[in-house]
Structure 1
Amino acid sequence: MAAKTKRQSFKKALLQKLGLWLLPPIGALLIRVIYHTSKKQFNLPKHVPEDPVIFAFWHGDLLLMPYLYYRFRKIPNANVMISDHFDGRIIAQVMRFFRLGTIHGSSNRKAAKVLIAAMRTLKAGTDIGITPDGPRGPRYEVADGIVAMAQKTGAKVIVFNCVPSRCWRLKSWDRFVVPKPFGRLAFYASEPIDLNGLELDAAKDVVKSKLMEHALE
């Protein structure tokens, strides 16, 4: 039994290592194909703060967000908070193809340490990307972390959305969105949102309300 368990663990580790090698470049290529074969519309804020901001988007909308960030910042300087699960490590590798750094964390493990690292990053002048309903949901529910970061650092929150004309939806908890090539992509970035002075639940409601304005059901 022990030998069988050891073989299974070895096989799993080998498959994960292979996945980390193969899947990120394939994912990055897929993102580029979708983007460059689609018609784009960008709806950007009138004023883009020079100070670092927190840009927030639903976990299921993550795929094309680097391109919206490029329009927001001509020179990318951001770390995206990603889960430390296997799929999170794949996403982190994909983000590197788009010149974005990552901070690994979890809603359950090392949460305080990750939150402190993110706040230090903001104070050092780097934007932070976060999925308020990640890494494991519930879908379309805002966790406390984004409010804590914004209020403790004074950083504004800017909400990102991407609405494709046609897409595939994965059967994952977040109904992950994969836009189909040769469609239309409507990108939205909100005006900066100031959460200072708001109670926790009220601040979360503000963020959720803005995120839901262009969310896919």
Structure 2
Amino acid sequence: MSETGKDARDPFNTKRPEVHELKWHQKIVFYPAAWSLQLYFRTWRVRVDDISGQFLSATTSPRMIVVWHNRSLPMPELFRRCFDPSKIACLISPSKAAAWEVAFFRQFRLRAIRGSTTRRSVQAAREMLRELRSGNDIGVSPDGPSGPLYSFQPGAVAIARKAKVPVMLAIPNTTNARRLKTWDRHLVPWPFARIELAVRVISPDDPIWDKSNEEVAAHLREVCLEITNDPFHLESHEQARVD
């Protein structure tokens, strides 16, 4: 066993997966903070343009909802306003840091599937398929949990292909936000910010599915970038190509 707790014969940590939850003393801090965050979320003005509104109303569960990692903060509130959060399960890392995100998502009636590309990947894939086959949506960040920024991992494509569900690309945009100095330049909207939700849908009958998972992922990434309003757009686009 290595220092990170992973067996060299089990690189995806499927035999001894460790899923972190908040400890009791962390919950003492969490609940007042969560209440304050919900008040902050209520100040936002959310707009959905006509095209995106048509995509939202024309598709029903089950769906794979795709969101960039750096826009995950607004999503619980957008799920509350524009979706049925009780029918959404989000893929979230099993790490200690992500335990805070999981607890907060649960405050919005969202369920969590704990896993990433390197931890609990097999179990998480099974849970995602189970949710989709039960008629629920799943939410994923194709460039999470550690990038590179605006990349699109083909694993999400494989799940959508197997389940034969629509892929909904949901990108919240706002110019009224702070950008954190994290790997994904995380977007934190200011109070009373105007957030515009851009949505596109790739149906399971689209001809793109005749191509390989890698080619489908590249196509979905391009569509996501087209509806992403970001000052780092071109830089991130070219960097992901290099990586």
TM-score when normalising by structure 2: 0.75
DSSP-derived class of the 2:86 partner: coil
Q: 1:123 to 1:111 in 2, by over 3 A?
A: same
- 1:40 partner amino acid: V
> Relative contact order (alpha carbons < 8 A, sep ≥ 6): 1 or 2 greater?
1
Contact 2:177 / 2:189 at 8 angstroms: preserved in 1? yes
Confirm whether residue 126 of structure 1 aligns to residue 136 of structure 2: yes
- List gaps (5 residues or longer) in structure 2: 1-19, 233-243
**Residue of structure 1 equivalent to 2:41:** 35
Alpha-carbon separation, structure 1, partners of 2:202 and 2:35: 29
Q: 1:183 to 1:169 in 2, by over 3 A?
A: same
Confirm whether residue 179 of structure 1 aligns to residue 189 of structure 2: yes
Contact 1:136 / 1:173 at 8 angstroms: preserved in 2? yes
Q: 1:28 to 1:153 in 2, by over 3 A?
A: farther
Q: 1:61 to 1:160 in 2, by over 3 A?
A: same
TM-score when normalising by structure 1: 0.84
- When the two chains are superposed, the root-mean-square deviation of aligned CA atoms in Å is 2.3
**Residue of structure 2 equivalent to 1:208:** 221
Confirm whether residue 26 of structure 1 aligns to residue 33 of structure 2: yes
Q: Deviations over 1:159-204 (max 9, x none)?
A: 1111122111111111111100122111122234435322122211
**Identical positions, percent:** 26
Shift of 1:33: 3.4
- List gaps (5 residues or longer) in structure 1: 1-12
Alpha-carbon separation, structure 1, partners of 2:35 and 2:144: 21
Q: 1:66 to 1:184 in 2, by over 3 A?
A: same
Q: Deviations over 1:129-172 (max 9, x none)?
A: 00001111111111122101110010111011111221111111
